[in-house]
Each structure stands twice: as structure tokens, then as C-alpha cells.
Amino acid sequence: MFRPPALPVRLACAVAIASIATACGIRQAVYVPQGYQEVVEDGSYFHDESGVTVRLPVLVVNKSDITLHPSITIEPHDHEVHVASARWRLNGRDIAPVADVDNGKVIDAREPLDLHWNIQAMGKAVKVLGDASSILLSLRVDGQPREIEIDLKRRDHF
């Protein structure tokens, strides 16, 4: 019975695995909110501003994606919060989400926002997002206008 040498087989397997991993890495990009603190337990990030906490995980975008759906959560604490509008600043253009924001709705507990953007007309997601982009949330906190900007930066090594 012929047995191939162990070293060449292991080397070939290692090269194949590295090739597959590299190919997958090219097809995805990871975006992390800048200036936000990481929550070690779940890998999400948060930022407190004006007594309101904004939380979101890293955004993993596939090269072929045409819809962006960041998992943004608002926690109002003891404040009355309304989301007036949301925009994604891409390549110098402000893009509105697919569905209008219900600005009459009061956020009175930790709540994920149902926001998604269709960027099909602009091209593939990774190319459109580039190295950095921003999500702008216009809020009313206790009747006062507040704008929260979430700067997302591409991170190749996560």
C-alpha cells in the first residue's frame, strides 16, 4: 500500500485552506464605528450622547450586497426620544433609507431601528462604502433636536 509523504500533503492542504480564506476575505469588508466603546461580551459598540445610548455591532458587508442593514439600537434611558430621520452619507451623497422613519413613534425602551438602504443603483456595497462612510440620525430628545453621526471605518484586520 502506497502512502504519500505527510509533509507534502499537509503543505498542499495548508495552501488550499489559505487560498480559500484569502478569497473569502476579498469578498467581504468589516466596518467598525469610530469613537465608540467596544462591549467585550458581545462584540458590539456603544456611544452615549445626550443621555441616549446608540449601540451597533460591526457591519459585515459582502461584496455583492445591494442592501445595507446596520443593526442600530437606541436606548433612551430616562428620556423621550423620537427618530426624526436617518441618512447614510455615501461618496458625498446623503441617501435616505428605503422605508420612511416613523417620527411620531416614541422610543421608550431599548429598541432596534428598522433601517435599511438599497444601493443597487450605486453599485456593489464594498466599493460604494469604500474605506469610510457615515450614518446620520436626527433625533428629538426631550423635545430638543440632536444629531448623532456614526462614522464607520473599514477594518481589514478584525
* 15 pLDDT above the threshold of 60: no
Looking at residue 12, its pLDDT comes to 47
What type of residue sits at position 62?
Answer: N
DSSP 8-class letter at 99: S
Looking at residue 80, its pLDDT comes to 92
What size, in residues, is the chain? 158
Q: Do 153 and 134 contact (CB within 8 A), yes or no?
A: no
* 13 pLDDT above the threshold of 50: no
Question: Which string of DSSP letters, residue by residue, matches 41-93?
Answer: TTTEEEEEETTEEEEE--EEEETT--EE----EEE-TTS-EEEEEEEEEETTE
DSSP count for the chain of H helices, then E strands: 2, 13
Coil vs helix vs strand at 125? helix
Looking at residue 11, its pLDDT comes to 43
The C-alpha atoms of residue 130 and residue 110 are separated, in whole angstroms, by 31
Query: According to the per-residue pLDDT averaged within each range, which of 1-5, 12-16, 60-64, 72-76 is highest?
Result: 72-76
In 3D space, the residue among 43, 41, 57 whose CA is nearest the CA of residue 112 turns out to be 57
pLDDT digits (tens, 9 = 90+) for 28-86: 899 999 999 999 888 899 999 878 999 999 999 988 888 899 999 999 999 999 999 99
The C-alpha atoms of residue 44 and residue 38 are separated, in whole angstroms, by 6
The C-alpha atoms of residue 31 and residue 83 are separated, in whole angstroms, by 23
Predicted confidence band at 101 (pLDDT cuts at 50, 70, 90)?
A: confident
